[in-house]
Chains A and B, each alone.
Chain A
């Protein structure tokens, strides 16, 4: 029988404020183009950029489009950010040659799957391979695994990317985002 009262669920943390902090940091960093393949973990940040007339929010068909788009943006003097899920990192691998060989900044904010509390076995291979794949292509990787750690980690990665002209990625752990459970959803 379905429960009608909400009870504390360790997989569902309270409404987080970190996306607002990340939005402010990215604005201060001068981000003008946002490329994304949506993820639930990025939805609040995506809404903030969507409502921002100074920022161009571009929905991509696949994540590597964003790597190339932000390289073009950099050639034209604009900074950007790529929002993606860890599965999309795999789609980017060869395209990451571009910022690597050209010494272009690339800031990637990656929401993790196949990580803490994952229920879907199909997410495990790419989730567990995300950091190694990025590092194999020369991307500087930092991780945030608590809500309080997301904003300072993004701030640090943005500075690395835009001041040292390198690709940098922040992995936002599933412990921050809350683990989905489709089995629970299937029962409702």
Chain B
């Protein structure tokens, strides 16, 4: 029997968020969220970050504003989100209806030796997002709640923030292309068509 209090597994969460992904556009924060998104299937509509810690949420905003008819999903970690916590205020002000931010919160800096992040000491990112003005802000602990976030992300009827509490497990890396020009060009070609190649 499964323990209802057991923490979610990060790859199950990401697989569910990206189930039947359609034409949703994904920005993945550096580190494990990048590997998780890539493990769910490398895709031209993914932009997995290998650096630029703190970029994920604001890249999602710029993309959501540029492509208002597409849905944008940012999948990042608690450490990356904490580094760009002001971005939650900026996103809350801009209110992009087509942007969902899902933070995989293992309460750890996973890539550097599993040191505790601020969320391990009770800093509540979902509460901060809500207080900033993102009205749909949830702490997620069950796969049923993950499904709801997945559906909200695809509906695109308002900015969504989800803090998904996950097991601090270290998994095998699944690496997407590392070259920034490849990632940029294939993403732009997929979203904008071959015209993107000609600037």
A103, B188: Cβ atoms under 8 Å? no
**In the complex, which residues 88-114 of chain B have their Cβ closer than 8 Å to any Cβ of chain A?**
89-90, 93-94
Complex alpha-carbon distance, A33 and B65, angstroms: 8
Most chain A beta carbons < 10 A, residue from B51, B53, B66: B66
A78, B86: Cβ atoms under 8 Å? no
B66, A32: Cβ atoms under 8 Å? yes
- Cβ contacts A to B, 7 pairs, < 8 Å: A56-B65, A65-B86, A69-B58, A77-B191, A77-B192, A102-B180, A103-B180
B199, A165: Cβ atoms under 8 Å? yes
Which residues does A use to contact B, with CB under 8 Å? 32-33, 56, 58-62, 64-78, 80, 94-95, 97-98, 101-104, 162-163, 165
**B residues less than 8 Å from A75 (CB atoms):** 25, 47, 59, 62-63, 66, 184, 187-188, 191
B86, A33: Cβ atoms under 8 Å? no
Kindly state whether residue B55 has any CB partner on chain A within 8 Å.
yes
**B residues less than 8 Å from A72 (CB atoms):** 27, 58-64, 66
Complex alpha-carbon distance, A144 and B58, angstroms: 30
**B residues less than 8 Å from A60 (CB atoms):** 86, 90
Kindly state whether residue B67 has any CB partner on chain A within 8 Å.
yes
Complex alpha-carbon distance, A103 and B181, angstroms: 6
Kindly state whether residue B136 has any CB partner on chain A within 8 Å.
no
Given known pairs A33-B62, A72-B60, A102-B180, the reply for A77 and B54 (CB within 8 Å) is: no
Q: How many residues of B contact A (CB 8 A)?
A: 38
Other 5 A-B pairs with CB < 8 A, given A61-B89, A73-B62, A75-B187:
A65-B58, A65-B84, A77-B191, A94-B53, A162-B199
A73, B66: Cβ atoms under 8 Å? yes
**In the complex, which residues 150-185 of chain B have their Cβ closer than 8 Å to any Cβ of chain A?**
180-181, 183-184
Kindly state whether residue B6 has any CB partner on chain A within 8 Å.
no
**B residues less than 8 Å from A104 (CB atoms):** 184
Complex alpha-carbon distance, A158 and B60, angstroms: 24
Given known pairs A58-B94, A59-B90, A65-B86, the reply for A101 and B196 (CB within 8 Å) is: no
B55, A68: Cβ atoms under 8 Å? yes
Residue of A nearest to B85 (CB): A61
**A residues less than 8 Å from B184 (CB atoms):** 74-75, 102-104
Complex alpha-carbon distance, A95 and B60, angstroms: 15
Complex alpha-carbon distance, A117 and B94, angstroms: 37
The 8 Å CB contact of A102, one of B58, B94, B181, is B181
How far does the Cβ of B96 sit from chain A's closest Cβ, in whole Å? 10
The 7 closest A-B pairs by CB, nearest first: A76-B66, A72-B62, A61-B86, A102-B180, A72-B59, A68-B58, A69-B62
Complex alpha-carbon distance, A102 and B52, angstroms: 11
Kindly state whether residue B87 has any CB partner on chain A within 8 Å.
yes
**B residues less than 8 Å from A62 (CB atoms):** 86
B199, A71: Cβ atoms under 8 Å? no
A76, B62: Cβ atoms under 8 Å? yes
Residue of B nearest to A65 (CB): B58
Most chain B beta carbons < 10 A, residue from A61, A65, A78, A104: A65
The 8 Å CB contact of B67, one of A65, A70, A77, A98, is A77
**In the complex, which residues 28-60 of chain B have their Cβ closer than 8 Å to any Cβ of chain A?**
47, 51-60
**B residues less than 8 Å from A70 (CB atoms):** 62
How far does the Cβ of B131 sit from chain A's closest Cβ, in whole Å? 14
Complex alpha-carbon distance, A32 and B65, angstroms: 10
**B residues less than 8 Å from A65 (CB atoms):** 58, 84, 86-87, 90
**In the complex, which residues 122-139 of chain B have their Cβ closer than 8 Å to any Cβ of chain A?**
none
